[in-house]
Amino acid sequence: MSEATLKERILGKSGTAVTEIGMGLWAAGGGQWGTTDDSEIFDAIDFALDSGVTFYDTADVYGGGHSEELLGTAMQGRRDKFIVATKIGWQGFDGEAGQSAYTSVDKLIAGVESNLRRLQTDYIDVIQSHINFREPTMEIFLEGFQKLQREGKVRAYGVSTSDFEYLQAFNADGGCATLQIDYSILHRMPESDILPYCQANNIGVIVRGALAMGILTGKFSLDSQFEEGDFRRGWAEDPAQRVFYVDDLAKVEELRPLADGRTMAQLALQFTLAHPAVTTVIPGAKNVRQMRDNIQAGLLPPLSPTEMAQIDGIVPPGGGRKIWPA
C-alpha cells in the first residue's frame, strides 16, 4: 500500500476528526445483502484499522443486530481506536399501522441501551435516527438523544434521511451534528439543497450509497444474477426496476473510461469526496480485497476539474435518481 495516509475531516458539530474513507457495515450483517462470512468481516475490520480508518457505521437492523455484534467483538481491547456511528428506528416498526416502536423517550433510551449492549461499549460516538416520521416520533428521538448526550452515553447525534424538510425540522434547535445520506454520481439530487444546507449549518455529512448499491463498481451487467435474499434481485426480475437498472448500467459504461488507473469504485468514491460538504464516505466491504480498494480511493490524487466536468456531462449536477428509496 502507498505510504500516503488517509486524510481526516471534522464531522460537523461533533468536533470529531474522522477519516475521509470509513467502513459501512450494512452488508457485514448479512440479511438483505446475501450471505457473509464473519471471519472475513473481522479480517476486513482489522485491515481497515491497520490502514488508518477510524470511522465505522452500523445500525440495529443490519443483519438483525449481527452487524453491531460483529463490530462490538472487533473493538474489544481497543475501543479507543474506533469512532462508532450507529442507528436506531426501524426495529419493531409496524408497517401496516405506520407506527414506530419508540412511542416514548423511555422506550427510545431502552433501544439505545440495546445498541450499546450489542456493541459492547458504554458510549456511542454518533447515534442517528434511522426513521423519518414526524410528530411525535421526531420529538421523542430528539429528547432521548439529548438526554443520552447529557449522560455521556452518546457524544453526538444526527439523522439518516434524504428528506430535506425532515432534516431541517430535526435541526430546528441547531443540535443536529450529522446527516447520513444517499449520494453518488448516479444520485446527485442532494447537491441542490441538502448539501449546501449542511455546509451552512455545520452538519457533518456521512455518505452512504456512493457505489449505488454496487452498480458503480462496474462489476454488474444485464446478465448478472443475485442470490436469494439479496434485495438487488429485483433489478433483474422486476420489470419496473429493470428499466432503471438498464439506464444506470449504460451510464456506468460512459463513466468507465474516466477510471483511467483507478477502479470504478475508486472513481465513484472520489467523486463524493470532491464535494466540500462531505465529511466521510462509508462504502461497505465484505472482505479485505474490497476494503483495500475502498481505502485506496482516499490515497489517490483527487479528481481533476476536467474529470469532474466529464462526469457532469454524463449525470448533470443535481441530477440522477435515488437508487435506494430511503
Residues β-bridged to residue 87: 128
Which of 62, 102, 183, 245 is catalytic? The answer is 62
Ordered per-residue pLDDT tens for the chain, 326 residues: 446 799 999 999 999 999 999 999 998 887 666 678 999 999 999 999 999 999 999 999 998 899 999 999 999 999 999 999 999 998 777 666 667 889 899 999 999 999 999 999 999 999 999 988 776 789 999 999 999 999 999 999 999 999 999 999 999 999 999 999 999 999 999 999 999 999 999 999 999 999 998 899 998 877 777 767 676 766 777 777 778 888 899 999 999 999 988 999 999 999 999 999 999 999 999 999 999 999 999 999 999 999 999 999 999 999 988 776 54
Q: Model-level pTM greater than 0.95?
A: no
Distance from C-alpha of 244 to C-alpha of 223, rounded to nearest angstrom: 15
pLDDT for the residue numbered 2:
42
Q: Is the separation of the CB atoms in 113 and 82 below 8 Å?
A: no
Distance from C-alpha of 294 to C-alpha of 309, rounded to nearest angstrom: 23
DSSP classification of residue 254: H
62 is an active site residue: yes
Buried (b) or exposed (e) across 49-64, using 16+ Cβ within 10 A? Answer: bebbbbbbbbbbbbbe
DSSP 36-49: --HHHHHHHHHHHH
DSSP 106-162: HHHHHHHHHHHHHHT-S-BSEEEE-----TTHHHHHHHHHHHHHHHTSBS-EEEE-S
pLDDT for the residue numbered 182:
96
Compute the CA torsion angle 217, 223, 224, 230 (nearest 10 deg).
Answer: 130
Distance from C-alpha of 85 to C-alpha of 19, rounded to nearest angstrom: 13
Q: Is the separation of the CB atoms in 154 and 112 below 8 Å?
A: yes
Among residues 205, 213, 225, the alpha carbon closest in space to that of 280 is found at 205
Q: Is the separation of the CB atoms in 323 and 212 below 8 Å?
A: yes
Q: Is the separation of the CB atoms in 221 and 249 below 8 Å?
A: yes
What residues contact residue 220 under an 8 Å CB cut-off, 6+ apart? 214, 249
Pairing between β-strand 23-24 and β-strand 55-57 as defined by DSSP bridges: parallel
Distance from C-alpha of 291 to C-alpha of 263, rounded to nearest angstrom: 13
Distance from C-alpha of 30 to C-alpha of 252, rounded to nearest angstrom: 26
Can you tell me whether residue 204 is helix, strand or coil?
A: strand
Residues β-bridged to residue 181: 207
**Residue ranges of domains in the chain, CATH in brackets:** 8-314 (3.20.20.100)
CA 20 to centroid of chain Cα atoms: 12
